[in-house]
Amino acid sequence: MIRRTSLKIMIITIIIQLLCFSLINGAVSGSTNAITKEYNERQESSINQVNISFESSNYTLYGEIFYPSNVSKTYPGIVFCEGHGGYISAYDWIPKALTEEGYVVLIFDLPGQGKSEGIFPIRSINIPILNIYFRYTFLIETPIHYVLREWTTATSDALTYLLEESPVKNMIDNTSIGLIGHSLGGITVTETAVIDERVDAVVALSQGNPLIISKIDVPIQFQGGCFDLGTYSIPIISRCYSKANTPKELIAIEGGTHLGFSTAFGPLCPCPRWQKDICLRYAIGWFDYFLKNKTDAYETITTGTDHLSRFIKSRYNFGDGDRILE
């Protein structure tokens, strides 16, 4: 009882700090920005969603699949990998946006996170108005699952389920497969791309594993927020970019934060209003170019936009040297 009360006090304290941060920096993202608002207004008629579960490392994992309403066509398939302590509702804005652009996307809770099974029973605190869902044991449990390689196993198992067992398997072009992940999920998708030959393109948000990046032989894009100080995001993804094979891209978002790639904490999310717009612009463009072979996406991913960092230059290299996005 004491531990649970202490955790609630800690969460309330964090919320107060986030509110103060947001007010001081003028970065409260309460009003939905242009791109995400457009997707939210259109998705009811153009996107379908189904809840699923699959087995991985002797755990039953919960997931959701988003797919276009036109079920007579085939689409590239993408798996989204959440971050440490993550949960689907904090990240489903990205799968929904990708689906709106013609992708089938599976997002799932990793072992011991969200609604998935883990070492300990599911006990959590849920504050819907702020889109907060905390498993009490995730700080202890998640590192165990990650060290045991159960995150990469789960990501590959999710892809296998999507392609071979899911109710939408016939809608997926299994020659065009992408991975996208945030934070520890960004590290995981880079690690999965090394061992899973089905992967054709990767987008890593905030993090990657620089120790194995050179082993990835598919196009990879890194995105990071320049105000993501606590996780050393920019130094890490810059190192990843320098070691990655081509084609590769680095997107540095002005004022971007770690939580800005999620909708956790709702209107109190400490992130600039443009972060999600930029994230979608370049992630969708990357997948459009390398999974759909859309030639017009080349201009999107090689052209700068407002609110890219002026100090950490966004750049790309498709085999002919680094080029700055301008």
Number of H helices, E strands in the chain: 10, 12
For residue 255 the two structure tokens come to: 């004022």
Q: Is residue 4 part of a domain?
A: no
Measured between alpha carbons, how far apart are the two ends of the chain, in Å?
Answer: 55
For residue 42, what pLDDT band results from cuts at 50, 70 and 90? low
Q: Which residues of 42-57 are buried (b: 16+ CB within 10 A; e: fewer)?
A: ebeeebeeeebebebe
Alpha-carbon distance 79 to 73, whole Å? 19
Q: Is residue 116 part of a domain?
A: yes
What pLDDT digit, counting tens, does each position of 143-165 carry? 999 999 999 999 999 999 999 99
Element (H, E) at 60: strand 59-68
Q: Is residue 49 part of a domain?
A: yes
pLDDT value, residue 326: 85
Once rounded to an integer, what is the mean pLDDT over residues 220-239? Answer: 96
For residue 4 the two structure tokens come to: 């649970």
Q: Is residue 6 part of a domain?
A: no
pLDDT value, residue 270: 92
What's the total number of domains in the chain?
Answer: 1
pLDDT value, residue 120: 96
What pLDDT digit, counting tens, does each position of 55-84 carry? 999 999 999 999 999 999 999 999 999 999
Query: Is residue 237's pLDDT more than 80?
Result: yes
Q: Is residue 311 part of a domain?
A: yes
CATH code for the domain of 33? 3.40.50.1820
pLDDT value, residue 46: 85
Q: Is residue 254 part of a domain?
A: yes
| Amino acid of residue 183 | S
Q: Say if residue 72 is exposed, middle or buried (CB neighbours under 10 Å; 0-12, 13-18, 19+).
A: exposed
pLDDT value, residue 3: 47
What pLDDT digit, counting tens, does each position of 240-298 carry? 999 999 999 999 999 999 999 999 999 999 999 999 999 999 999 999 999 999 999 99
For residue 262 the two structure tokens come to: 């999620």
Q: How many C-beta atoms surround the C-beta of residue 321 within 10 A?
A: 8
Domain that holds residue 166: 28-324
Q: Is residue 301 part of a domain?
A: yes
Query: Is residue 48's pLDDT more than 60?
Result: yes
Q: Is residue 181 part of a domain?
A: yes
Q: Say if residue 147 is exposed, middle or buried (CB neighbours under 10 Å; 0-12, 13-18, 19+).
A: exposed
